[in-house]
A and B are shown apart, each in its own frame.
Chain A
Amino acid sequence: MKTGTLILTVAAQMLVPLQILFSLFLLLRGHDEPGGGFIAGLVVAGAFALHQFVNGPEATRRLLRVDPRDCIGIGLLLGVGSAFPAWWQGEAFLTAQWWDVLGFKLSTPLIFDIGVYLVVLGSVLTAVITLTEVDKDEA
């Protein structure tokens, strides 16, 4: 079901990939500079919401491949899980742990941010998709 106008459709084709890339950029630079999981999650949710306005909720579900509710679940698990590695080291919960994996610096704050990213994406999309699907039922 296509709902968008021509201008919106063309614009969305270019904007959606850009927004997704930009959200990843925001997510990864967020540790030292402005950015982070929450704002990146909002940007990517904006991308999918735009895609949904143009192509309808069915197409967005196909594009996303996973159910938004799974995003919330996995994101929550990552977020809560990042509190625990510090316990294993005998430090207070949530103390940042850093590991060196093949030259990349991996850390628990990063895991936490990815968790937040997924939760925001999942919850915004659940709300938006539910609201549009309800509207369709009524029409």
Chain B
Amino acid sequence: MEPIMAVVIGVIYASAIYMMLRRSIVKLVIGLILISNAANLLIFTVAGMTRDAPPLIPMNGDPLGDVVADPLPQALVLTAIVIAFGVLSFAVVLIRRAYQIVRVDDLDQMKDTDT
């Protein structure tokens, strides 16, 4: 499973960076969404993928088995998803407002603050 995931994560990172390098701001946002998902998948995979055994003690109090999944990466990914949700929804609103004001979808035209 891990080699497949490694390839998948690599491809997502690559496509995200490709999208971010385009000139359109919409594609920029798509790139940002992809790259944050790639990071989440990376945490999930690196921390070790265990099948079948959730780290929950059942109501009747049976002890856990020998091999259970590590709950911490899942908590991390969940937190990261929530944060990415907040930040990306902000980015979408920002880009919408920017488009309303600047009236172009081209990053090359947004050079007023450089030089």
Show the binding face of A for B, using Cβ within 8 Å.
Answer: 38, 127, 131
Contacts and interface: CB of A to CB of B under 8 A. Distances in A.
Q: How many interface residues does chain B have, given as a range?
A: under 10
B93 A131 contact: yes
A127 B85 CA distance: 13
5 contacts: A38-B82, A127-B89, A127-B93, A131-B93, A131-B96
Nearest to A38: B82
A123 to B, nearest CB: 8
Interface in B75-115: 82, 89, 93, 96
**5 closest A-B pairs by CB:** A127-B89, A38-B82, A127-B93, A131-B93, A131-B96
Nearest to B82: A38
Contacts of B96: 131
Nearest to A120: B82
A38 B86 CA distance: 12
Contacts of A38: 82
Contacts of A131: 93, 96
A127 B86 CA distance: 11
Nearest to A123: B86
Contacts of B89: 127
A131 B89 CA distance: 12
A73 B89 CA distance: 20
Contacts of B82: 38
A127 to B, nearest CB: 6
Contacts of B93: 127, 131
A38 B96 CA distance: 26
Nearest to A33: B56
B42 to A, nearest CB: 23
A76 to B, nearest CB: 14
B37 to A, nearest CB: 18
A51 B89 CA distance: 21
A128 B76 CA distance: 27
A96 B82 CA distance: 23
A127 B82 CA distance: 16
A99 to B, nearest CB: 23
